[in-house]
Amino acid sequence: MVYTIQNESFWQAWRPSEEDMDRLLEIFLEQGRPLTLDDMARALVERMVDELKIQRGGEADAVYDPTLLYEVGTRLRFPRLNNIVGEVVGVRTGDNPRYEHFSVLRVKFAGHPDVREFVADFHHLHALNFEPHAAPEELSAEAIYSAYRATIHERLEAALGASEEFVRFGDVWLPKALVVDINVGNRNIAEAMIDVMGKALPPEELLTEMEISDEVGRPILIFSVNHALAQDERFVNRGSEQRPLWYLRRLEEQ
């Protein structure tokens, strides 16, 4: 059994939905820092996989193999039943003279009142239409991400670029809702600091004189300063996008 999310066709057709953008917002809120496209894409796939696992009944201890016997309490994943996960709540002796000794597992699935039964310790493989030992493909976020990284990046970047909810500085993004307002007063302080020092300054240093609460955390504050100064025509970045150094355009022109 292979999940849709493991197929190339799924990712080829994938365009981040409103639900995906909501997932991204949650990821930003949890991590509390600006994220690169790689950070976002990886976390998004991990979240999608986690949600799928929860839908299927959570993590399993083993994949159901009808030739094996399992103890009560074991959580099994059933590849032939859309990978749903259930817990073994009992074991009884099988009852059919057609076959020699076998057992029957009593399995409880979350959200279903009835206990279902499955054959176990069963070695009459001719009676089954599937290969019991075949290891189904594991649902791994890492494997999915490795396989479709380029496509996911491309689609996510396009969606973020088209969205008015996210802003970018360099290779990191942040939801607008989390960006701290660096008002004109603070930008004036930055201008004055650069003027007095006569050299380009990093955002960390500019923040030392700005009157801003740092309760949102340093990474978001630094991003906010960089984003605000990049929008303000008085400032010019003389460093890189990774390590910005802010200077004044008018001083450059002198």
Partner 1 sequence: MAVLTKVKPTAETLFHIQWDWFRRNHVDTEVLLREQLCAECRQALDEGKLMGEVDWIDPDTGEVFRMDAVREAILSHCRWKPEYISATTPLITAVFRTLLANNNCPLSAHELAQRLTRWDPETILTVLSRGDVKWGITPTNGE
Q: Which stretches of the chain bind partner 1, using CB under 8 A?
A: 64, 66, 78, 80-81, 94-98, 104, 116-119, 122, 127-130, 132
Question: Is 202 buried (19+), middle (13-18) or exposed (0-12) by CB count in 10 A?
Answer: middle
Cα–Cα distance measured from residue 245 to residue 202, given in angstroms and rounded to the nearest whole number: 4
Q: What angle do CA 118, 124, 128 make, to 5 degrees?
A: 60
Q: Residue written as tokens 């979350």?
A: 110
Which ranges of the chain does DSSP label H, i.e. alpha helix? 8-13, 18-31, 37-55, 141-162, 184-197, 203-207, 218-231, 249-253
CB of 224 to partner 1, least distance (A): 55
CB of 58 to partner 1, least distance (A): 20
CB of 136 to partner 1, least distance (A): 13
Q: What share of the chain is helix, strand, coil (3-state, %, to 5)?
A: 45, 20, 40
Choose between 95 and 211: whose C-beta lies nearer to partner 1: 95
CB of 53 to partner 1, least distance (A): 20
Choose between 68 and 189: whose C-beta lies nearer to partner 1: 68
Cα–Cα distance measured from residue 240 to residue 250, given in angstroms and rounded to the nearest whole number: 20
Choose between 15 and 98: whose C-beta lies nearer to partner 1: 98
CB of 132 to partner 1, least distance (A): 8
Choose between 66 and 175: whose C-beta lies nearer to partner 1: 66
